[in-house]
Each structure stands twice: as C-alpha cells, then as structure tokens.
Structure 1
Amino acid sequence: MEQKITSHIVKGLIIAAILIVVNIIGQLTSYIFEDWYRWIGTVIYVASIIISAIYFSNQNNQNVNFGILFTHSFKTAAVITSILFVYTLLSVYFIFPGQITHFVQQGIDEAKKQGKSAAEIQEAVVMARKVLITSFLAGGLMINLITGALGAFLGAALAKKNPNFQPTQK
C-alpha cells in the first residue's frame, strides 16, 4: 500500500492556523508590540516549512531531489502567505484595528516630544494611518514570501534526498 502524500495546501492551512493563533495570543496579551514576540511567528514559520520539507521527503521515501523539495515547500509557503494576507487584512480593519491606533499614538507621542504643533500632528496622523495600513499589508506579504522562500531553501537543503534520484511514473 502506497503512503498518501500530504498536500502542500493541507500543510499550509495547518501552519497558517498555528501562526494566526500565535498572533491572536500576542494581540490579546499586547505582547505583539514587543520586539521579541514578533520573532516567535517568524521562527515558527521557518521551522514549520523545514519540517514540512523533511516530512515530504520521508513520505516519498527520500526519492526526491532539491528542486522537488524546494517547490513543494515554497508552494506550502505560498498557501500560508495567502491565508496570512487575508488574516492581516481582516485584522487591520476589523479584528484588531487598535493595533494601527497604537502605532499612530506612538508617533503622536514622539511628535509632541519634538515640539510639533497640534495642526502638524493632526495632518501627520491621517497620512500615518494610510502608510501604516499599506505597510502592514504589503510588508507582510513580502516578508512572508521571503521568509517562506528561506524556509523552503533550508528545508530542501536539510531533508534527506536520493543522490540517484529517478522520477517515478504515475
């Protein structure tokens, strides 16, 4: 009986769900604003992609090469990135809109320390909200893709491969 290969979509859904739970915990505890906490999601993301590649290699009895492992892992990362983008969109606008407010308030406090006038601060607040939302969405998308590519590369490099790889006919 041939072992069933776990789809990159299933892996991506599971990993994205874990990352969303970690983010929600951070939001609810306000740890999300701490620098150290932001790295937790990144470490989980990269480690899970590496584990995914190793698991895929094992499911194929190591009859894979670097390219196949990287492709499968990057597809997993693409699924995760897509789901996290939708979550970030919902989070910024509906679930945790206070996150943007927190960063804007930090900017206001800094502007007051610099002696800016109330009119200058008010004008900057409107622009800051737009820039922050765009940064969260575009930055999150790019960071997740780059981090996913790194995880896929490491996973493909670390997973056992068959040096005499021969593609199987299906």
Structure 2
Amino acid sequence: MTDDLHPDAVPRPTVRVLLLDGADRLLLFRGFSETGDPFWFPAGGAVEPGETPDEAAVRELVEETGWERPVLGPHIGDRRHVVGWDGTVWDVRERWYLARVDTLEVDTSGYTAAEVAADQQWRWWTPAGLGASPDRLVPADLAGLVASILRDGPPPVPLTLGI
C-alpha cells in the first residue's frame, strides 16, 4: 500500500486480535460510526509509544477482556484504512493476530474512558452466526476469514485484509 491514502491523515498503528474460545466462538465488540451506524469488530486498539505490536495486543486483551495472562497466537494479517473520528482523519494501520482461550468470562472493568463513554458492548459469535448476521462486521469478510482459519488453520503468511 502507498502512503498517499489521505495526505492529511494521522498514522495510527493499531492491533486487532481474533479471540476464539473452545467452542470456536469469536469475541467481537460493538461500536458506532460517526453517523451512528453500529458495527462489530475484534478486540484491539492503538499501539502506544514504546510498545511493540505484540505488547499492544496483549495489553488490549487484558484491558478489554480481563484475561489475566493472554497467550498471543500468530500474526495472521494486516489491514489499512482511513477513517474520520472525533475531528481527526486517521490512517489506521492494523496488525491482526489470532488467540485462543478455552473459556473466558469477559470482564470489562479495564475499559478505557473512551470505551466506557461509548457504552461498548461485547458478544461471543458462533461461526454460523457470523455468516448469517445482517449486522455490519469489520472487516466485511470477517465470517469468511474465521471460517478459513477454523477449516485450514492460520495462514502460512499474513494476509492483506479488506475493509
């Protein structure tokens, strides 16, 4: 990808984690676009200064799920998109990981102030539920990505993920 997606966009290194439980359910969070449209997306967030993407992914899992000692799986893909949010245009550069946990009672007490203010909700999705959902999933081909990982395992090289 080129660096000219949007010349005024602020680069935002970010991580996302496809967290699957022992029943092959995927944990997703609900957010809202600036126009108020809901969408569902995997755990993750910004890479903080001085942090590696791996460190950020582990930190985000702890903050967003309460999982005390996350075990990060492989880097499965990369995604880049430009989004306007709160008056800023961001060039979001995501590194995606896979992680597995047998069971997890999600604890959101580690949410950031922005996550609390957004009344962010979470839900475990079955593969069938992902494929049949009329809700917007991020990325749009998320159901296919999860189905592929469950069928074939993680990709041998990181994929370029769509919007």
Q: Which has the higher contact order (CA 8 A, sep 6+)?
A: 1
Question: Highest CA radius of gyration, 1 or 2?
Answer: 1
Q: Which one has a larger percent helix, Structure 1 or Structure 2?
A: 1
TM-score bin (small chain): under 0.3
What TM-score do you get using the length of structure 2 for normalisation?
0.23
Q: Which one has a larger percent strand, Structure 1 or Structure 2?
A: 2
What TM-score do you get using the length of structure 1 for normalisation?
0.22
